[in-house]
Structure 1
Amino acid sequence: MSKRFSIGLVVGKFAPLHLGHEWLIRQAQEQCEQLVLLSWVCPELAGYEPERRANWLQVRFPELRSWVVTPEWVARQRARGLLLPDLPHESAADAAQRQFVADFCLAVLGHPVDAVFTSEAYGDGFAAHLTRCFGRPVQHVEIDRARIQVPVSGTRLRADIHGLRHYLAAQVYGDFVERIALLGGESSGKSSLAQALAEALGTRHAAEYGRELWEEQGGVLAYDDLLRIGRTQVAREQALAGQCQRYLVCDTTPLTTLFYCRELFGRAEAELEQLAERRYQHLFLCADDFPFVQDGTRQGEAFRRRQNRWYEQELDRRGWAFTCLSGSLLQRVEQVLRHLSG
C-alpha cells in the first residue's frame, strides 16, 4: 500500500532529542515513503553538541537519512561546489531559516520534498515558503501541536534534564549521566564503595568485569583478554547509563586494565591505551590505608602501594583532577557526597 507522501521532512534542534520529537518522527514515517531529518543549532548549546545530536538520531532512527549541520559542514559543502547560504543564526528572520532548508533540499538532497511535519505554529508559513521556492506544493502536516501525546519541550528539558529524564530514550539520557570513577589498588575497598555509593545516590553501579572474567577463567588471563576487558567495561557503562539517576558509579576504568596489561605482559594494544584515556566527570582514588585483606588471589600490600603510586603518577601526568578517599567505608561515602554537592 502506497503512502501519502513520497518524501517528507522534519526539521528540529533535537537539543535534546526527546520522546515528543520521536513521536513526531514516527508519525511522519507512517505517511512517507522516505523521511529526512535535518538539525542545526546556531549558536550551539553546551551539552548538545552536533556529534551528540547526530549520534542520537543515528541510534534512534538508523533507517532514516539525517543531517546535523554546522557552519563548518556548510563550508565543506561549498568547497564541493554546492550552493548553500550561511547557516542561519537563532535570531535570524523566519525567511532566512526557511530559505536555508529550501536550498539544502535542492543542493544536498537534489530534489524538493512533498511535506514538512511539525508540532509548531510556524508550520503553515514554512510549507508556503518551500512551495514558492520549489514551484510545487509542499504540504504542512501538524502533529500534536498541543503536546498532549508527550507534554514536554526542549526548553523544559534543558532546564531540568534529570528531573524530566522520563521524556528521553535511555540512549539519549545516558549522555547526561555523570560518571563517578573509583580507582585504587587491590583490597582498597572499591567494590564495597561502589555499591554503597550507588545505594546512597539512588542509582546504579558498573561492576568490575575484569574480576568476573578472572574468576570465570580460574585466575588465568591471556593477553587478548585485557583488551576484551577494557571494551566490555566501557560497553557495560554505556548500557547502564540510561538506567541511572544523574550518576553512574564505576567500580573501575580502563586505566586499571592498562595497568594490569602492562604489569602482566609488559605491553598493551594501542586500542587499550586509547580506552585508558576515557574521561570521567568525577575521579576518586581510594587510599591504601584500608586494611589489606588477603583472599588468596591478591599479590600483597607492597603491590597495592605500588599500584596506587602508579595511579597517582598517571593521573598527574594526564592532568586529571582527582580526590583521594580515606578512612572507613562510611567516611569515604561521605567524602564523595560532599564532593558532589560542593
Structure 2
Amino acid sequence: MKRYGHGLVLGKFYPPHAGHHHLVRTARDHCERLTVLVCASSVETLTLEDRVAWMREIHPDVLVVGAVDDIPVDLQDPDVWAAHMAVFRAAVPDSVDAVFTSEPYGEELGRRFGADSVCVDPDRTLHPVSGTAVRKDPVGNWDFLEPPVRAALTRRVVVLGAESTGTTTLALALADHYRRRGGVWSRTRYVPEYGREYSELKLAELRAERPDAEWSDVTFRSGDFPVIARRQAELEDEAAREGSPVLICDTDAFATTIWHERYMGTTSPDTREIAAHGRQHLWILTDHDGVAFEDDGMRDGEHLRPWMTARFVTELARSGRRTAVVTGPREERLATAVAAVDALLAEGWPLADPLPERR
C-alpha cells in the first residue's frame, strides 16, 4: 500500500470497537501522521467527549479531534454533503492526502477532500462487528471492545450495609454466581471494600508504636474518608475495564458518606462530591435484622446497626438510587440479589440510535 503524508479516519465510533481500531492502526501504519475525527450528534447517548477520550487512550500516537454533526445523513444530496464537509473541514483544516474508511461513501469523501480513498476490510472479515451490532447487543460483542469502553458500559452493582450484615459474603456469592454462567460472564469481577484495608493499615501503624493497641484505640479523621472513597472508586474503575458486563462491588463512595456520618457525626462534602461522580447502577442493601453480630476484632457498632440501616434506606431513596433490600437467610438474600441484578441486565443498554440516513 502507498505511503501518505497526512491521513484521515472519520467516524462516529458509537461506540469504538475492534473494527474501528483495525482501521485506525492500518491508516497509521501508512501515514506520516494521522488524524482521527470523531463525529457525534446530539441525539446519541455516549458523549462526544467520552468517545474522543477513549480513542485518545487507545491510539496515543495519532491526533484525535471531535466535532458535533447534527446534519441529517443523505449520501445522494450534494447540499447535505457540502454541509457535512463544512463540519469536517472546520475540525480538520489541514490538507489531507488520504482518507481511510470501510464504508461505501469513502470514494466520495476522498474526492471532496481532494485525497486518495483507501478502503480497509469493507466486508468486516477480520473483525465481524459494527457500531449498530454493539449498541444492539453489548454482551454478545463484549470481546470487540477495549477497556475504557467496557468500563463505561459495565453495569455496576454495589452491595452495602451496616457492620456484620453479610455484605462481603453476599458480594462474593454474587460475583461467583455470574462467573458460573460461563462465556463472557466468567470474567465477572469483585471489588473488595477498601475501607477495610485502610482500617487494617491504621491499626497496624498504631500497633507499630503501641503493640498492645486495640481497634477501639484507632482514631479516624474527616480527611480519611475522601481518601477511602477516592481509592474505592479507582479500584472499581480498574475492575470494570477488565471484567464482564456486570461488576460486583463491596461498598462504594456513596456508602463511605454514611460511614463518615457514623464515625464523625456529620456529613462530608468532599466524600459526597466523589460519590456524585459514580457510575453505579444498582445498590443492594443488606438488612441487619435477623443477622447475628460477629465481632472480628475490627467491629464495634452492633448498637448502631439499626441506625445505619435506616440511614442507608433514607439516603438511597433521597438520592434516587435504584435499590434492592435483602433479608432472610443467606440463600434467600442471594436469590433476591440475583433477581435484582438480572432485572437490571434484562433492561439492556439504553443507547439511542444515531440520526437516520435519508434514502
TM-score, normalised by the number of residues in structure 1: 0.85
Unaligned runs of 5+ in 1: 72-86, 132-137
Q: Which residue is 1:200 aligned to?
A: 177
- For 1:222 and 1:122, locate their aligned partners in 2 and report how far apart those are by CA, in whole Å: 61
Displacement of 1:101 in angstroms is 5.0
Q: Which residue is 2:249 aligned to?
A: 250
Q: Which residue is 2:99 aligned to?
A: 116
- For 1:94 and 1:112, locate their aligned partners in 2 and report how far apart those are by CA, in whole Å: 24
Contact 1:41–1:90 under 8 Å retained in 2? no
Per-residue CA shift, 1:271-310, capped at 9, x if unaligned?
A: 3221222352111111112221122221132111111111
- For 1:6 and 1:279, locate their aligned partners in 2 and report how far apart those are by CA, in whole Å: 41
Q: Relative to structure 1, is the Cα distance of residues 21 and 55 closer, same or farther in structure 2, using a 3 angstrom cutoff?
A: same
Contact 2:15–2:51 under 8 Å retained in 1? yes
Counterpart AA for 2:102:
S
Counterpart AA for 1:30:
D
- For 1:33 and 1:176, locate their aligned partners in 2 and report how far apart those are by CA, in whole Å: 34
Contact 1:43–1:89 under 8 Å retained in 2? no
- For 2:340 and 2:263, locate their aligned partners in 1 and report how far apart those are by CA, in whole Å: 34
1:141 aligns with 2:118: yes
* 3-state DSSP of counterpart to 2:229: helix
Q: Which residue is 1:293 aligned to?
A: 294
Q: Return the structure number with greater relative CO, CA threshold 8 A, min gap 6.
A: 2
Counterpart AA for 2:16:
L
Contact 2:172–2:190 under 8 Å retained in 1? yes
Q: Relative to structure 1, is the Cα distance of residues 42 and 107 closer, same or farther in structure 2, using a 3 angstrom cutoff?
A: closer
Per-residue CA shift, 1:213-262, capped at 9, x if unaligned?
A: 21123154454332221111111111111322221011101122222334
TM-score, normalised by the number of residues in structure 2: 0.81
Q: Which residue is 1:78 aligned to?
A: none
Deviates more, 1:315-324 or 1:102-111: 102-111
- For 2:222 and 2:36, locate their aligned partners in 1 and report how far apart those are by CA, in whole Å: 44
Counterpart AA for 2:197:
E
Q: Which residue is 2:21 aligned to?
A: 22
Q: Which residue is 2:153 aligned to?
A: 176
Counterpart AA for 1:69:
A
Identity %: 31
Q: Relative to structure 1, is the Cα distance of residues 119 and 92 closer, same or farther in structure 2, using a 3 angstrom cutoff?
A: closer
Displacement of 1:121 in angstroms is 2.3
Give the root-mean-square deviation of aligned CA atoms.
2.3
* 3-state DSSP of counterpart to 1:69: strand
Q: Which residue is 1:74 aligned to?
A: none
Counterpart AA for 1:58:
R
- For 1:105 and 1:338, locate their aligned partners in 2 and report how far apart those are by CA, in whole Å: 47
Counterpart AA for 1:335:
T
Q: Which residue is 1:60 aligned to?
A: 58
* 3-state DSSP of counterpart to 2:94: coil
- For 2:303 and 2:268, locate their aligned partners in 1 and report how far apart those are by CA, in whole Å: 27
Count of residues paired in the alignment: 318
Q: Which residue is 2:208 aligned to?
A: none
- For 1:266 and 1:300, locate their aligned partners in 2 and report how far apart those are by CA, in whole Å: 14
Contact 1:42–1:89 under 8 Å retained in 2? no
Displacement of 1:103 in angstroms is 2.4
